[in-house]
Structure 1
Amino acid sequence: MKAKHQRLTLVLLALAAIVGAALLALSALRDQASFFYAPSDVERQGLPLGRAVRLGGMVEAGSVARAPDGVTIRFAVTDGRATTPVTFAGIVPDLFRERSGVVAEGEFHADGSFKATNLLAKHDEKYMPPQLAKGVQQTTTLETGALTR
C-alpha cells in the first residue's frame, strides 16, 4: 500500500471516529435538550413521569409554606399561565423568595405535584454582586469626573 493511500485511510478513519463520537453525544443529550419545563409546558405536553427533569418559573406570591420539621418547604411555581405545586426538603438557596425565578430539579408525581431534590434560585439580568456593583460605581464616578474637568 502506498503512503498516499495510508494517509487517506487514516484521515477517513479519523473523520468516521469524530462523526461517531458526535452522534453518540447528541443521542445522550437528546432527552436533556430542553433546559427546563415550564408549568404550562407540562400542562400542554403531559407529565414526564419516571425520570429526572427540571421545572422552571417564578415562585408564586403567598405560596411558600414551611413544614413544622423546619426542613421541608412547599411552594408553587408559575409561568403566568399554569401553576405546579412543589415540595422540597433541604436548605434553600439565599436568593430563593416569592416572586423570584427558580429552577427545581426532581420528578413529577402522578397527581401533578413535583418533588424537588435540588433548587436553583435565579436572579434577573440586573443583578450584580455588591463587590462588583461598588467597582462599577467607582469607575463611573471616575469617568464622569474625568469628563467634567
Structure 2
Amino acid sequence: MKPKNQRLALVAAAALAVLAAVLLAMLGLKDRAAYFYTPADIAAGKAADGKAMRLGGMVETGSLRRDPDGVTVRFLVSDGQARTPVTYRGIVPDLFREGSGVVAEGRLDRGTFVADTILAKHDERYMPPQLGNQAAEHQAGTTLAR
C-alpha cells in the first residue's frame, strides 16, 4: 500500500472513531440532559409531562407559600407572559425570595412543575456576605485615599 493511501485510511479510521465516540456520549447523556423552558413554553405545550427539564423565570411576588410540614414550598414562576406553579420539597437557597430570578430542575406533572433542585439567581451587584464588609471597607479606603 502506498504511503498516501495509508494516511487516507488512517484519517478515515480516526474520523470514524471520533464519530462513534460522539454518538456513544450522546446516547449515554440522552436521559440526563435537562432542557431549559420558560413558563410561556410550558403554556404553549412545548414541554412534556415527566421529562427532566429546567424551568427559569422570576418568583412572582405574593405567591410564595410554605406548607405546615416546614419543608414544602409552593410558588409561581413567571416570565412576563405566563406563569407556572412550582412545588419544591427541601431547603431553598439563601438568595431565593419573591421577585428574584430562579432556575428549578425537575419534571412537569399535570401543569405543576415538581422541582428536585432550586437554583436562585442574583444580579451583577451581588456580593457574598463574607465579602460584603471587606468590599465596603476597601471601597471606603479607596474613596478616602483620593
Give the TM interval when normalised to the shorter protein: 0.7 to 0.9
Q: Is there any run of 5+ residues in structure 1 with no aligned partner, and where?
A: none
Structure 2 gap ranges (5+): none
4+ aligned runs moved over 6 Å, structure 1: none
Which residue of structure 2 lines up, in the alignment, with residue 21 of structure 1? 21
Q: Sequence identity, in percent?
A: 52
Q: Which residue number in structure 2 is paired with residue 8 of structure 1?
A: 8
Farther off after superposition, 125-134 or 76-85: 125-134
Q: In the superposition, relative to structure 1, how do residues 94 and 33 fare at CA in structure 2: closer, same or farther (>3 Å)?
A: closer
Deviation at 1:9, TM superposition (A): 1.5
Equivalent residue number for residue 74 of structure 1: 74
Look up the match of 1:92.
92
Question: Could you state the TM-score of these two structures normalised by the residue count of structure 2?
Answer: 0.80
Q: Residue by residue, what CA displacement relative to the aligned partner does 1:44-101 show, whole Å, maximum 9, x if unpaired?
A: 2344112111111000001111000001011110011111111100010111000001
- The residue number in structure 2 matching 1:115 is 114
Count of paired positions:
144
TM-score (norm 1): 0.78
**Residue of structure 2 in register with 1:65 after alignment:** 65
Name the structure 2 match of 1:106.
106
- State which drifts further: 4-13 or 77-86: 4-13
Which residue number in structure 2 is paired with residue 39 of structure 1? Answer: 39
Task: Pick closer, same or farther for the CA change 1:8–1:136 going to 2, 3 Å.
Answer: farther
Question: 3-state SS of the aligned residue for 1:102?
Answer: strand
1:24 Cα shift? 4.8
Bigger fraction of residues in helix: 1
